[in-house]
Amino acid sequence: MRLSVIIPTRNRVRSLCLTLRALEDQTISKNEFEVIVVDNGSDSVSRRQLQAHNPAYRCTVLEKPHKGLAAARNFGASHAKGDILHFLDDDVICAPGTLDQHIRAHQNGAGQMVVVGSLPFAEHLAPSPFLWYLEKRGHYDVFRSPKGKYPGGKPPLPPLNGNASIPRELFLRIGSYDETFTRYGGEDLELGYRLVKAGIPFVYHPAAIGYHNHTKNFSAFCADMEKAGESLIRIYRKYPEIRSIKKIDILADPITKLSGKKWIVKIVLSASLSFPGVLTIPRLMTRKYASRYAFRYLLFPFFYWVSQYHYAIGMKKGLVQGK
Predicted local distance difference test score (pLDDT) of residue 11: 85
Let me know whether 77 and 12 are in one domain.
yes
CATH number (domain holding residue 132): 3.90.550.10
pLDDT tens for the chain, residues 1 to 323: 899 999 999 888 889 999 999 999 999 999 999 999 998 877 777 777 777 777 889 999 998 888 899 999 999 999 999 999 999 999 999 999 999 999 999 999 878 999 999 999 999 999 999 999 999 999 999 888 766 677 677 888 999 999 999 999 999 999 899 999 988 889 999 999 999 999 999 999 999 999 999 999 999 999 999 999 999 999 999 999 999 889 899 988 888 888 778 888 888 889 999 999 999 999 999 999 999 999 999 999 999 999 999 999 999 999 988 65
Let me know whether 247 and 184 are in one domain.
no
φ, ψ of residue 247 to 5 degrees: the values are 60, 30
Predicted local distance difference test score (pLDDT) of residue 146: 66
pTM metric for this prediction: 0.92
Let me know whether 203 and 236 are in one domain.
no
Alpha-carbon 136 to chain mean position: 16
- Domain boundary (152, 181, 212) is at 212
Let me know whether 142 and 24 are in one domain.
yes
- Domain boundary (164, 183, 212) is at 212
Residue 85, CA distances (Å) to 70, 81, 109, 146 in order: 14, 9, 16, 25
φ, ψ of residue 276 to 5 degrees: the values are -60, -15
- Domain boundary (168, 197, 212) is at 212
Predicted local distance difference test score (pLDDT) of residue 144: 84
Let me know whether 268 and 136 are in one domain.
no
Let me know whether 200 and 313 are in one domain.
no
Give the residue numbers spanning the domain of 116: 3-212
SS3 164: strand
Residues 6+ apart with CB under 8 A from 301: none
Predicted local distance difference test score (pLDDT) of residue 322: 62
Query: Do residues 191 and 177 make contact, with C-beta atoms less than 8 angstroms apart?
Result: yes
Task: Count up the domains in the chain and report the number.
Answer: 2
Predicted local distance difference test score (pLDDT) of residue 56: 85
Let me know whether 186 and 83 are in one domain.
yes
Let me know whether 238 and 298 are in one domain.
yes
Let me know whether 194 and 274 are in one domain.
no
Predicted local distance difference test score (pLDDT) of residue 238: 95
Let me know whether 242 and 207 are in one domain.
no
Predicted local distance difference test score (pLDDT) of residue 43: 77
Let me know whether 222 and 206 are in one domain.
no
